[in-house]
Amino acid sequence: MQFYFCAGCNEGLLIGDADGSGVYDVDDNVYLIAVIFSSGPDPAPLAAASGDANCSCGDPMVDIDDVVYLINFIFASGPDPCSCEDWVAACGPLQ
């Protein structure tokens, strides 16, 4: 498993780490499901990037595709969540 840290951003920021724990795990999926279906709190520390594991940059930024992406990564050796650099290139500067 690779961890991506964003230069010039909050140290330890992982794109797709919705709960801000510093690791990718099933808790991120539970967190995203709460955001999507029951108006849970925004992903942390950055609402947009912290939940957008697949760099979709959509509106809404976090959707069920991010949950499926993380499940595939965690349980089926799917592709890594996008790097901070990739997210910034696709979606714009982190705020």
CA 32, 36, 40, 43 dihedral sign is positive
CA 49, 53, 58, 63: dihedral to nearest 10 degrees? Answer: -110
Alpha-carbon radius of gyration of the chain:
12
The pLDDT tens digits of the residues spanning 13-25 come to 789 999 999 899 9
pTM: 0.84
Per-residue confidence band for 11, with pLDDT thresholds at 50, 70 and 90: low
Please tell me the distance from the alpha carbon of residue 29 to that of residue 70, in angstroms, as a whole number.
7
